[in-house]
Amino acid sequence: MKMSFRAKRLERQNQRLAQAGKLNLVALMDIFTILVFFLMVNQSEVKVLQSNKDINLPRSVSEQLPSEKVMLTITANGVLVQGKPVWQGDWQQDSNNWLPELSEALTTELDYLANRAGPLAPEQQQVGRALTILGDASVPYALLRRLMAICAATEYRDLSLAVEAMAPAVEAP
């Protein structure tokens, strides 16, 4: 029996639909290429400071991104400059016992780093050298002030305090 044009067309269509679907790799490659470029471009906007597991940074809304500076880390049991232990001890003891030793050790290390970096330019002499302080949230403010005063005495007057960034609160209209 002779098949009509409609029957032949329906048979061809059924044969085409019965075949397994093919994966279009070109479209997937285009998507992944765009994703890779997007991630590469946006990667530079996030700055992560080297952190210590012993430090619990205070939380705050920060508007400035960190930059590469000398890092002064204050933990519960010591002080590190650029990851190098400078002083270890207990903050709970009488400060007259450990403050002179800490002051001398920190001054020595910061002077060494300043000498390695070379002299300051005339326009930078007023501001001083840059330093970022990573201090545990439990560090007393009086101790933080003393350490900042020691840093200011050694040309490191452009001080920044590192915080853990949190999202700003959105006010209801």
What pLDDT, on a 0 to 100 scale, did the predictor assign at position 64?
62
**pTM exceeds cut of 0.85:** no
pLDDT tens digit sequence for 77-127 = 888 898 888 888 877 776 677 888 888 999 999 999 988 888 888 888 888
**pLDDT above 80 (res 25):** no
User: Are 72 and 108 found together in one domain?
Assistant: yes
**pLDDT (0 to 100) of residue 47:** 55
How far is CA 55 from each of CA 18, 76, 80, 108, rounded to the nearest angstrom? 62, 8, 12, 24
30 and 102 together in one domain: no
**Is residue 172 domain-resident?**
no
58-67 confidence digits (pLDDT tens): 666 666 665 6
Asked whether residue 149 is domain-assigned, the answer is yes
pLDDT band of 19, cuts 50, 70, 90: confident
Q: Is residue 171 part of a domain?
A: no
| Position 119 in a domain | yes
- Kindly state whether residues 91 and 69 are assigned to the same domain: yes
Give the per-residue pLDDT at 62: 62
Residue pLDDT, tens place only, 113-171 = 988 888 888 888 888 888 988 887 788 888 888 889 999 898 898 888 877 766 666 56
Average pLDDT of the segment spanning 22-28: 77
Residues 63 and 94 in one domain: yes
Q: Are residues 103 and 148 in the same domain?
A: yes
50 in a domain, yes or no?
A: no
How are strands ordered across the β-sheet holding 84-88?
Answer: 84-88, 78-81, 70-75, 130-135, 158-161
- Into how many domains does the chain fold? 2
Token couple for 95: 């400060």
Q: How far is CA 82 from the centre of its chain?
A: 15
Identify the domain containing residue 92 by its residue range.
Answer: 59-165
Tell me the C-alpha distance between 67 and 31, whole Å: 33
Contacts of 114 (CB under 8 A, 6+ apart): 129, 154, 155, 156
Q: Is 170 inside a domain boundary? A: no
Say which CATH number the domain at 142 has.
3.30.420
